[in-house]
Structure 1
Amino acid sequence: MNVPDRADGEGHGRPRRGGPVLADLPLLERDREQAVLSAVIGELRSGRPAVVTVTGEPGAGQGELLRWAARHATERGLRVLTARATPAERDLRYGVVGQLLAGHEEFAGHLPHLLLGQGGPGRFPGLTRLLTVARDRPVLLVVEDVHQLDPDSLRWLEALIRRLPRTPLAVLTGGIRTADLGLDWCAGSPLTGSATTVELALPGLTRAGTADAVRAVCGTLGDRSFVAAVADATGGNPTVVRDTLRRFARAGHPPDAGHVEHARAIAAQVIGEHAAAALDGVRDPVALGVLRALAVCDDLLDFPLVLALAGPGALPETRLRAALLDSGLVTVRDGRFRVRGPVARARVIEEMPAAERADLYARAAELAHRAAADDQGVGDLLLPARPVGAPWAVDTLCRAAAAALRGGRRDRAAAYLSRALTEPLSEETRIRVLLRLARIELVIAPVAAGRRMGGIIREPGEVAAAFRARAGDLCLLGGDTDTTWRALAEFLVGGPGSDGARGAPSDPGPAEAATARHEEITALFRVAQPLRRASAEIAFPLAPDLPLVSRNPAVNGVRAWEAAVRGDDREEARGRARAALAPDPSGRPPLTVPRLLACHTLLLTEDGEEAETHLCALLAEAHRERCSVTVARVLALRAELHLRHGRPDSAARDLAAADLELPPDSRHPLSYPYWTTLGILTDLANDRPERARAAAGRPVPSPAEESVSGAQLLFARGLLARADDDPHRARSLFRACGRWLLQHGWTNPALLPWRSQAAEAAHALGDAAQALRLAREELELAERWGTPGAIGAAQLCLATMRGEDRLQRLRAAVDSLGRAPSRAAYTRAIVALASVENGGPDRATPVAAPVTGGAGTGNAGPPGTAVRRPRVSVPPQPLADIPVLALRSLSPGERAAAALAVRGFANREIAAALSVTTRTVELRLSGVYRKLRIRGRDDLRALVQGTEDD
């Protein structure tokens, strides 16, 4: 028999004229199958028997296709006998045979035998009469849902098929069972002899077929994304597609991209209803139990283990497999039984009573654990299960959480750990799990994480004492300074004895361990105090003083930071910072916040390389522990280091990496100013003012503005106002920043040089007295701190406001900044000095260079830019010694470019320093070479060196 092949391509199966109509919808993309059945009917008229089996998943359209064939055969003059097997007639003998013969006079005498069950062994009521009738007029037998046949009707049909070779009779059946698990007549065995045997497996609709269905039901072409969503959500199942589109069309929505989610929701609802209807048809309690076990285990357990989970049953495994397939809810994939799709799986599980469901999940988890299944698979079974009460459950859930974190599934990891807390736990294990959960929640639910860690800090008892400081450390890293301050303050009200004088029996001794823990709590409280927002509530007592001499890294880290923010003893700050970063002699695990403060202190003492080494070590440690908030904080501080050392591109990369670890939407509201400030400074340094303006304009929670972090944001907004040439707003913002910092005793200009920035704004506004006062005050504080960068920046600021000693101030600024990591201030000093010495205007014009800084654990830094330069120990001479006539021919822009080129700056760096394009720098240097009659940079340097030697 010649059967036309299914056409390839998206156009296959489309109606030939116009478009599909609603009447054609059940037979959409069934052209090939219709052609096959037409050929079978044509050959049957010629006396050739046939056996045709139509299979497919539930809803594939087997019934519609069989009914079409019955109509087609009737129109061709054939006798058609139809029947449909149902679950209700599975126990009725010859139920389907009775349907086939009922209503036909030729078989009226055989119906009593069928109804009374009088057919004995080897007797098939009505079969001989059917064969006789077929010889007079060809007969087509159509049986729907053949997988539901009662045993006697099944044997009757098999007997009929064995007698087909010499009879003009065709048997057309439809069902959901595949050939290798179905009926023997499907394979073309010798039972059928010379009869034609065909098996038609109905596929789902293609994207093109789904598009036709959308057009037929909705009356218009569907958007491509809408069609794709419907095809994916329904799996191309024709019945599901039809029902979904009809409900969607009744809602009156157009099939466009804006209603994709609505279509998905309707598809899920339709699939669920079909699954519920199929579930109602599962009558056998053993099959139902196995079906529920399959739904719970999915593909985690092999079928024999699923049977063991479901419990003993009376059905043989062969019949049980058939019953599962007959339900339409189970399919075979890669040789394994699985419930069809997540929606059907969820519906099977939802139909169970809650207690029975929780118990089944618990038993499934235990069985999977014994079978050495994957940790996350066992963890998924434990999530909805009742408490198991066994140690393996908590261990498995913790391992599953670690695996989920490695895969970037933080929500899942948090769910595993939350489930672990419902098991019976020892006090120590419970707190450890709480800390692991809080570490994850700092990224996905920061406010909840703060409450959780605040509870650990407040928790009494000796066991909690060992974890209290760790909880406070994490809480500070997450930015919840309010919760940290309150919880630590409530604990400290009780004094050192609140840790328990007995302590834990460990080395170095119970008393020393308790003292060390109390010192850590005190140190963290002193950090949280200036960072928290102002409050009118009842104040707790101030934190106790830290010991002046201590080997505790937390004490040394906080002491170093306090000395740095005061700006009064650089050597003490440096020494304590290095002690904080050394291993703890007692072997206690170090806290992160004090070490970050120590690294920040080294950054302020201009020991940048040493700070960067320690930051890289902290970053590696945070990655090992998979603590995203720690990784983000370390990257943020390293971004500030890059800004201070003139590497804004590296700062932007670190900040982008921090955003991946701790997304902006996942940060605690109180930390918004910290991150916003760092983003603004980085964008300004990378010449992205529009992005910086957008960040500065975003709203910040009001409590967050009333803190030192809010002062950082004021400073960054002041820089933005200065870049926008708005000195009034800039001065107001810088002075507001200063008021907040002074309120908390932060006077070091290396943190935030707000005085010099406010002085420049006041000078631009003509307020010379205020400008001089602020500039002198900053220079005095910078000299007290003693770092070359802070001193040089203050000298440069003062030099732009005084006339009598400007040249000496500029030379001193160049000398100081030449030994500092700040790039922008050094460049400004060189250009200003060159302008004064070469007869420029009386007032040195500062170069517009971005002022950058960072916000480590509560501060920002002095000016810096992305210009790279060779380090020098003495101030290089500008172009003053080049012959005067030649020098006068250079424009101010050419003189500035030449001065920087002599000192080794690349064209890109000169462009950044002078706020011009690289092409402009190239043109200016070309003009310099032409006017001085030299060939390039080497000749320029030689010319300057020669005049110096003279």
Structure 2
Amino acid sequence: MAPPDLPLLERDREKAVLSAVIGELRSGRPALVTVTGQPGLGQNELLRWAAGQAKDGGVHVLSARATPAEHELRYGVVAQLLTPEDRDMASRLFVAPQRPGGLPGLNHLLTACRDRPTLLVVHDVQWLDPASLRWLEALARRLPRAPVALLTSTTGTAIDRPEWSVGTPLTGLASTIELALPPLTASGVAAAVRAVCGPADAAFTEYLAETTRGVPAVVHEVLHRFTRAGRAPRAEHVEHLRALTAEVVGDHAARALSELRDPVAVDVLRALAVCGDLLDFPLVCTLVGPHPVPEARLRAALGASGLLTTRGGSPSGHDAVVRARILEEMPAADRADLYARAARLAQRVAVADQGIAELLLRARPVGAPWAVDTLRRGFAAALRSGRRDRATAYLTRALDEPLRAEERGRVELQLASVQMVTAPVAAERRLHGLIRSADTRAGLRSQAVDLCILGGDTRAARLAQPAAPGTLGTAAAARAPDDAVPRAERVGDAVKPSASRDRAVSGAATASGGTAPDPASRNDFGHHLGNTGSADNDAIVSERHELIALLRVARFLRHDETCLDVHPAPALPEHSHSPAVAGVRAWEHAVAGVHLETSRRLARAAFAPDPGGRPPLVTPRLFACRALLLTDDGDEAEAHLATLLNEAHRQRAAIAIAHVLAVRADLHIRHGRPDAAARDLAAAEAELPLTRLHPLFVPYWASLNLVADLLNGRADRAREVASRPVPSLAEECATTAYLLFARGVLARSEDDPHRARAHFRACGRWMLHYGCVNPAVLPWRSLAAESAHALGDDEEALRLAREELRLAARWGTRSALGRAELSLAVVCGENRAEHFRAAVATLSESPARTAYTRAVLELASAESAEAGRRTALTLASRRSPTADGAAPGAHAGSTQGPPAPAGRSPGWGAPAPHGAAPHLRQRPPAGWPALSPAEHETALLAARGLGNREIAATLSVTTRAVELRLSGVYRKLRIRGREELRALSHGPEGG
């Protein structure tokens, strides 16, 4: 009830009606007024106000109040009304025998009312005892003959409306009025806040109106408690207001529940609290079981309680606070049983899976197959809506049902794939248990280890390894992997380790690498398939081979073989039909830079179905995709990545989705599509936030973000990524080389060759430490050579460039060879144009479009410089010939200008030969500094004679973009077309 010391807000209309009724009563006109509404809307407060107004106007007032405690007390309300007139009336009513048709005291009251107008006020008529109700109905029939007004309040609905209500024939000529009180509006709630607390923020009043639903009693009590806490009604105190509102609403619900006396109504109320809006009211009543109470009476009792609202003519549940208060008094076992019965009923009537799953969350195990199926469908629906916490709750509940061992393992695996993002520690613990106990035939152990590696847990592969390392595979497993790669040589300032320390670095989402098997001692995967024995078809052998492959991956990620209690990782089995072994072996060949065709064939075999029908693993296939990237089969790798992505989406494996997207971003960067790479990286971070990313993968993701931002022209963001600290564990893993390389690229773009060379050298040392020799993985040698060339260390530059060219030629892909030729052309002092032409020819048939564009620009710059030198020599020979007619600059000993700086966009301004006249040296046009880098590149290609379509294909842009860039070039250079652009680029006399 609303506190009496507060005004009746937004009740002016009702007060005007009651004032008019009291005025007419003084003139002898009877009336019947019913004030109705949900509990807490202020009905009784309004009746008290009317009684006070009537007393002030000289009207005789008799009042009574019905309560649930006196519902069975005969004439309880009549006794309250008549006791002021006759003190002995109560005792006579309670002890007098009940006679049919008896209405004690009614005639005496009507006789007394003829001399003075009387107002009868009855509060809460929904709790009237039957005798008092019959007495008041008889009074209503006699009202036209006496100056009496009956003013009542009720919280009942239209179904249990008394017979004197509007539209009934009982009232005769008496005025019959029903006042339905609405909740407070937003302005009414704001007025209440001002009256109790003073001026308030709009956010505060809006939240109060929403949570209290405008019920005055709740609003006033919340505000009084809030004021007693000494807080101001400001937006920053909304959290405190939320707690107070929940407490007050819960108290009101508990009070209303204690007043509900009918046990059947209480049971139905609890069933409604369980089912909410899932089931219709008649179906909810069936959960209670057979009972004699009519449905209409149940609706009336529940509506009068105020605990439920009416929606569409049927009772409907309130918010979570009220439902919790309704159910908290039940024993836990009874509550779980009620939820289970409700779930069974909802399943029989085909309620939506989400609703049934919510019921099953709180139900005891039902022991039926449909329960697990429903929870798994609810899990998928929750993931689609982004509710990962709810999805994990559904699968956790599914594990409480009786399940077969294989089905239980699959549910745990599915649950762990989501918990890898939300609760990685719990996921690892669950997967470790699955690895220890799973059945070999189902492939669950391998899938659990695969998922652990995606989450960064490298211990899981060791956990699956038997005590003796040689028992994992065939005879080849007992052989140490020390004969895999030939002993390395010293390159630059980095030393390659010997074969006893062969290691590899990864660029896949698992970001790991491997050592290549000795080609003389091992055959390719196709040969293995032809020599497969019957033992390889056994599930135990297949699992062992998969675990060996995953163990190699774990070893690549983080080396712990120096520990005394850790056995060395066994070599991959010689003869295996496992696609997982093929994928890892393809990557090991690729990072070692040997056997291109074998690596390509093994990578393709990694995507073949397993002969034994075992489910495919994610990590080996990611390795295979990375191997295809290094073999210049990017389109094929992209198709396989799309397949992996669709598969991960079907399985709702967020961590697999994120890693596949990261690998695809790497592919886009290598193929000159940085905008697509940025989109994939953003999508990957949406699936797996960086705060949840395992430290082992932080350097790789950071490197991808850094390079993508740099290529997209967001240098500030790239610098921010480069300066971001990484966890300590991230500095000890294979992916560290990627971040070092990316930082070197950033330093190179900032014209800081000292820092760039330091980063590239560190990257090289780290990669060689892991046995990664192939320059196709990261071309650190070529970029370190260009940095050394910029610093004047031509000896080191040539040594590194030639080393990269030798290794790229051994590997044999166009991308690696073309990049090596390009770097050699940059650092060499002779025949630069010829070297650039060779690089352009090689890269034109490779997917490395960024390197190809740079090679074309460098070639244009070199050709422009050569043309300028030829022109200068020709003019010099005409003006100052020597005695024998030779030009001074034509002697072999003449000095030439330095080559264009490496790493910069070539253009006008290449130095002319020494001795040339100042006016003959090339200078950029007046508007050249105003050109953007994109316009700069487009202008050089157009000056070289390429058409718009060719320029668009070279720069990977649209033809329209080329047209717009050329228009900007013409405007800034103040020229009219390509002819003038060519004239500017060729220098004097068309040189």
- TM-score category by the smaller chain? 0.7 to 0.9
Corresponding residue to 2:45 among 36, 60, 64? 64
CA spacing shift, 1:318–1:179, aligned 2, 3 Å: closer
Partner of 2:583: 557
Q: Report how far residue 455 of structure 1 moved.
A: 2.2
Task: Provide the identity percentage.
Answer: 56
Say whether residues 1:176 and 2:218 are aligned partners. Answer: no
Change (3 A) 1:492 1:388: farther
1:27 partner SS:
coil
Verify the 8 A CA contact 1:179 1:186 in the aligned structure 2.
Answer: no
Paired residue secondary structure (1:191): coil
Matched, 1:28 2:40: no
Is 1:200 aligned with 2:242? Answer: no
**Amino acid across the alignment from 1:340:** H
Q: What secondary structure is seen at the aligned counterpart in 2 of 1:136?
A: coil
Task: Provide closer, same or farther for how the CA distance between residues 773 and 943 of structure 1 changes in structure 2, counting only shifts above 3 A.
Answer: closer
**What pairs up with 1:332-371 in 2 under 5 angstroms?**
332-371=310-349
The residue correspondences of 1:893-908 to structure 2 (distance < 5 A) are 897-901=938-942, 902-904=945-947
Structure 2 counterpart of 1:636, from 640, 646, 662: 662
How far residue 415 of structure 1 moved from its aligned partner, in angstroms, is: 0.8
Q: Give the deviation of 1:308 after TM superposition.
A: 3.0
Pair 1:164-2:143 in alignment: yes
Q: Give the Å deviation of 1:573.
A: 1.1
The 5 A counterparts of 1:479-558 are 479-489=455-465, 493=469, 495-496=471-472, 511-532=537-558, 537-548=563-574, 550-558=576-584
**How far apart are the structure 2 equivalents of 1:535 and 1:63?**
81
Output the CA distance in 2 between the equivalents of 1:712 and 1:462.
Answer: 37
Contact 1:834–1:896 under 8 Å retained in 2: no
Q: CA, structure 1 residues 75+457, in 2 after alignment: closer, same or farther (shift >3 Å)? A: same
Report whether the alignment pairs 1:328 with 2:303. no
Taking a change above 3 Å as real, the CA distance of residues 197 and 526 of structure 1, as seen in their structure-2 partners, is same
TM-aligned CA deviation for residue 611 of structure 1: 1.6
TM-score (norm 2): 0.82
Superposition deviation, residue 669 in structure 1: 4.2
Cα pair 2:4 2:45 within 8 Å, conserved: no
The answer on 1:824 being equivalent to 2:850 is yes
Instruction: Tell me the amino acid that sits aligned with residue 898 of structure 1.
Output: A
Q: Corresponding residue for 2:495?
A: none
Contact 1:107 1:129 in 2 (8 A): no
Distance in structure 1 (CA, Å) of the matches to 2:573 and 2:759: 37
CA–CA distance in 2 between the matches of 1:40 and 1:418? Answer: 63
- Asked if structure 1 preserves the Cα contact closer than 8 Å seen for 2:473 and 2:573, the reply is no
- Residues 872-897 of structure 1 show CA distances to partners (whole Å, capped at 9, x for unaligned) of xxxxxxxxxxxxx9995754779865
The aligned residue for residue 899 of structure 2 is 843
- Given that 2:472 and 2:548 are in contact with CA atoms closer than 8 Å, whether structure 1 keeps it comes out as no
Structure-2 change in CA distance of 1:42 and 1:886 (3 Å):
farther
**Match of residue 236 from structure 1:** 214
2:78 matched residue in structure 1: 97
Residue 165 of structure 2 aligns to a residue whose secondary structure is: helix
Asked if the contact 1:560–1:598 (Cα under 8 Å) also holds between the matched residues in 2, the reply is: yes
- In structure 1, list runs of 5 or more residues that go unmatched: 1-20, 499-506, 851-884
Counterpart AA for 2:704: L
Q: Secondary structure at the match of 1:588?
A: coil
Distance 1:757 1:721, change over 3 A: same
Deviations 1:694-717 (A, max 9, x none): 333333322233111232222223
For 1:587-598, what aligned pairs fall within 5 Å after superposition?
587-598=613-624
Structure 2 CA distance, aligned partners of 1:743 and 1:468? Answer: 31
Q: Is the Cα–Cα contact under 8 Å of residues 824 and 849 in structure 1 kept in the other structure?
A: no
Q: CA deviation at 1:345?
A: 0.5
User: How many angstroms apart in 1 are the aligned matches of 2:861 and 2:440?
Assistant: 69
Find the counterpart in structure 2 of residue 437 from structure 1. 415
Asked whether the equivalents of residues 607 and 621 of structure 2 are also in contact (C-alpha less than 8 Å), the reply is yes
Return the alpha-carbon distance in structure 1 between the equivalents of residues 231 and 559 of structure 2: 50
- The TM-score with structure 1 as length reference comes to 0.85
CA spacing shift, 1:496–1:800, aligned 2, 3 Å: closer
Q: Distance in 2 between matches of 1:361 and 1:603?
A: 54
The aligned amino acid for 2:453 is L
Alignment of 1:465-864 (within 5 A): 466-477=443-454, 479-489=455-465, 493=469, 495-496=471-472, 511-532=537-558, 537-548=563-574, 550-839=576-865, 842-848=898-904
CA apart distance, 1:433: 0.9
SS of 2:271's equivalent in the other structure is helix
- How far the C-alpha of 1:912 sits from its partner, in A, is 11
The whole-number CA distance in structure 1 between the counterparts of 2:804 and 2:700 is 24
Q: Residue 132 of structure 2: which of 144, 153, 156 is its match?
A: 153
Are 2:274 and 1:296 aligned? Answer: yes
1:410 maps to 2:388: yes
Cα RMSD over matched residues?
Answer: 3.5
Note the C-alpha offset of 1:134: 2.1
Aligned equivalents of 1:400 and 1:848: distance in 2? 56
How far apart are residue 548 of structure 1 and its match?
Answer: 4.5
What amino acid does structure 2 have at the position aligned with 1:715? Answer: F
Question: Helix, strand or coil: the match of 1:192?
Answer: coil
Residue identity opposite 2:352 in structure 1: D
Secondary structure of the structure 1 residue equivalent to 2:152: strand
Range with bigger deviation, 330-339 or 21-30: 21-30
Aligned to 2:647, the other structure's residue is in SS state: helix
Matched position secondary structure for 1:842? coil
Question: Match for residue 872 of structure 1?
Answer: none
Of 42, 58, 64, the match for 1:83: 64
Distance 1:210 1:728, change over 3 A: farther
Q: Secondary structure at the match of 2:827?
A: coil
Cα offset for 1:905?
6.2
Counterpart contact for 1:458–1:491, Cα < 8 Å: no
Match of 1:274 among 252, 277, 280: 252
Structure 1 Cα separation of the partners of residues 780 and 41 of structure 2: 74
**CA displacement, residues 224-248 of structure 1 (integer Å, 9 cap, x when unaligned):** 2222111111111111111212222
Q: Distance in 1 between matches of 2:537 and 2:858?
A: 61
In structure 2, relative to structure 1, the CA distance for the partners of 1:196 and 1:941 (3 Å cut) is farther
| Counterparts in 2 of 1:939 and 1:760: CA distance versus 1, 3 Å | closer
Task: Provide Cα deviations, 1:712-756, integer angstroms capped at 9, x if missing partner.
Answer: 222223333333444444333333322222222112222122223
Q: In 2, distance between residues paired with 1:635 and 1:146?
A: 68
How far residue 195 of structure 1 moved from its aligned partner, in angstroms, is 1.7
> Residue 28 of structure 2 aligns with which residue?
47
CA distance in 2, matches of 1:887, 1:585: 70
In structure 2, C-alpha distance between the alignment counterparts of 1:267 and 1:159, rounded to whole Å: 43
Q: Does 698-707 or 29-38 show the bigger shift?
A: 698-707
Contact 1:911 1:918 in 2 (8 A): no
- Cα distance between partner residues in 2 of 1:536 and 1:120: 102
